[in-house]
Amino acid sequence: MGQKVRPTGFRTGIFLPWQSTWFAGKKDFAELLFEDLKIRRFILGRYKASGISKIRIERTREKVVVNILTAKVGVIIGKKGQEVEKLTKDLETLCHRHIEVKTIEIARPEVDAQLVSQEIAEQLAKRASFRRVTKRALETTMEAGAKGIKVQLSGRLGGAEMARTEGAMAGSVPLSTLRAKVEFGFTEAVTGQGNIGVKVWINNGDFLTEETIDGPDAKAGKVSKKPTRQNKR
């Protein structure tokens, strides 16, 4: 049997920041964790087609800061900021806390694994050929400057009676190399024959060199090398 590790969880706390940044005791931990889940489900349910990659939550004693990383900031902000104000009020009603919503734009969605998986899922839902969609995604991501990309589709591909798994890969995606900036994205495509799982791995360079492609985690990923020790005689 093969043991598979999600690249995001493999690197969290070492090279990548946590998606929820707060501290709580044993009594409040479960409640706050479930509250984070409700916030994420509420936002993703309302803005399904807004290109949301990640939702980061920071907590203090006074308020909860919700950072939404998206490729379509205008959809979430709305006209004159009306949509953000409405979202903030709805989240405050949901959680009964003071909430501040911030939006962070993803400048290069072509190299974001979650957004690429969402794009593939949207095309599959429109009955596009899965091989053509996969090939186009590989070419677009590699042209954007990624070091490698791997796509895996699982389900009744092409309306077949039996579900199967097919994948495609371009470049190099070293899953076991901790210093490699490998991002993972997963989305389900809803089709008439059933759901199709879309998994995407994208290699955006190296954390310990300057080859890392700029993204929302670029600042968190830049780690300075330790100087080599010199033996004094």
Model pLDDT for residues 38-82, shown as the tens digit of each residue: 999 999 998 887 889 999 999 988 889 999 999 988 888 888 888
Number of domains comprising the chain = 2
Cβ atoms of residues 205 and 213 within 8 Å: yes
Q: Is residue 61 part of a domain?
A: yes
- What distances in angstroms separate CA 204 from CA 123, 169, 217, 222, one per listed residue? 24, 14, 11, 13
Within 8 A by CB and 6+ apart from 40, the residues are 55, 57
Residues 141, 192, single domain; the answer is yes
From 49, 82, 105, give the residue that closes a domain. 105
Evaluate whether 183 touches 202 at the Cβ level (below 8 Å): yes
Q: Are 149 and 159 in contact (CB under 8 A)?
A: no
Q: Going by C-beta distance under 8 Å and a sequence separation of 6 or more, which residues neighbour residue 180?
A: 174, 203, 205, 206, 207
Q: What is the pLDDT of residue 224?
A: 46
Both 56 and 118 in one domain: the answer is no
CATH number of the domain that residue 18 is part of? 3.30.300.20
Considering the domain architecture, whether residues 145 and 212 belong to the same structural domain is answered as: yes
Domain-located, residue 196: yes
Determine the structural domain holding residue 32 and report its residue range: 7-105
Q: What is the pLDDT of residue 225?
A: 47
Residue 205 resides in a domain: yes
- Per-residue pLDDT for 218 more than 60? no
Residues 43 and 127 in one domain: no
Helix (H, G, I), strand (E, B) or coil at 167: strand
DSSP state of 106: -
Domain holding 195: CATH number?
3.30.1140.32
- Same domain, yes or no, for 54 and 126? no
Does residue 229 sit within a domain?
Answer: no
- The answer to whether residues 115 and 100 belong to one domain is no
Q: φ, ψ for residue 165 (rounded to 5)?
A: -120, 130
Of 105, 122, 142, at which residue does a domain stop? Answer: 105
Q: Establish if 190 belongs to a structural domain.
A: yes
Residue 188 has pLDDT above 60, yes or no: yes
Last residue of a domain, one of 71, 105, 139: 105
pLDDT, mean over the chain: 87
Please indicate, yes or no, whether residues 141 and 60 belong to a single structural domain of this protein: no
- Same-domain status, 100 and 118: no
Q: Which of 148, 120, 144, 155 is nearest to 134 (CA)?
A: 120
Do residues 141 and 149 make contact, with C-beta atoms less than 8 angstroms apart?
yes
Residues 98 and 174 in one domain: no
81 and 116 part of one domain: no
Residue 145 included in any domain: yes
- Residues 113 and 165 occupy one common structural domain: yes
The pLDDT-based confidence of 221 (bands split at 50, 70, 90) is very low
**The pLDDT of residue 155 is above 70:** yes
Domain annotation covers residue 24: yes
Residues 213 and 119 in one domain: yes
Q: What is the spatial distance between Cα 204 and Cα 180, in angstroms, rounded to a whole number?
A: 8
